[in-house]
Chain A
């Protein structure tokens, strides 16, 4: 199972959400998509999208100056 990384640091609305969705569309069942970013609202909204898409939110973590979200398809 692959791990897909998406770096949205410095990007603003709606790019982190859109790039997450693009990566999830390309991912295979069981793959992990890891998104890192700095846009504050996206940290709340990407989990909302994960829920709406019926996928598994593995982790939401604060790092030094950015956040990290891991999703399993």
Chain B
């Protein structure tokens, strides 16, 4: 059995994108191979300048809730999403962008973070990787 984790990042909510990157980084640290597939609202976070832009999944309160959580996270010295994404890449993690979402939402390659994205793909690539994974999550 391969030692691999595949994560679908469907949500663009800040807290869920945090969960995804923390799990992804943790799995890499444990010596696993990790692929993260960004689709729908998750893909919006891969737009240039978009990584930290997601709302909170609960208690967003027009941005007030997010502001409060951000302040708490700073106090607890939680790493930024930018840092987690860079670490993820440095440890050999793969970030894959869903090309169908790009078509639907009119997202062009030049709108996206080329420095983070390993490849552009469809569902076949996800399944090809997921079928050999010991962990697969839909976030």
- Residues in A lying within 8 Å of B, measured CB to CB: 10-15, 17-18, 20-22, 25, 48-49, 52-54
Can you name the residue of chain A whose Cβ is closest to the Cβ of B79? Answer: A15
Cross-chain contact B77 with A49 (CB below 8 angstroms): no
For residues 42 through 88 of chain B, which have their beta carbon under 8 Å from a beta carbon of chain A?
76-79, 84, 87
The complex places the Cα of A17 from the Cα of B22 at a distance, in Å, of 10
Cross-chain contact A17 with B76 (CB below 8 angstroms): no
Please indicate the chain B residues that have their CB under 8 angstroms from the CB of A12 in the complex.
76-79
Cross-chain contact B87 with A18 (CB below 8 angstroms): yes
Please indicate the chain B residues that have their CB under 8 angstroms from the CB of A54 in the complex.
31
Can you name the residue of chain A whose Cβ is closest to the Cβ of B90? Answer: A22
Q: List 30 A-B contacts (CB under 8 A).
A: A11-B77, A11-B79, A12-B76, A12-B77, A12-B78, A12-B79, A13-B22, A14-B22, A14-B25, A14-B26, A14-B29, A15-B79, A18-B25, A18-B26, A18-B29, A18-B91, A21-B28, A21-B29, A21-B31, A21-B91, A22-B87, A22-B90, A22-B91, A49-B29, A49-B31, A52-B30, A52-B31, A53-B30, A53-B31, A54-B31
Q: Which residue, of A10, A12, A14, has the highest number of chain B Cβ atoms within 10 A?
A: A14
- Residues in B lying within 8 Å of A, measured CB to CB: 22, 25-26, 28-31, 76-79, 84, 87, 90-91
Cross-chain contact B30 with A48 (CB below 8 angstroms): yes
The complex places the Cα of A17 from the Cα of B78 at a distance, in Å, of 13
Cross-chain contact A17 with B29 (CB below 8 angstroms): yes
The complex places the Cα of A10 from the Cα of B90 at a distance, in Å, of 22
Cross-chain contact B90 with A17 (CB below 8 angstroms): no
| Inter-chain pairs besides A11-B79, A14-B22, 11 sampled, C-beta below 8 Å | A12-B76, A14-B84, A17-B25, A18-B87, A21-B28, A22-B90, A25-B91, A48-B30, A49-B30, A49-B31, A52-B31
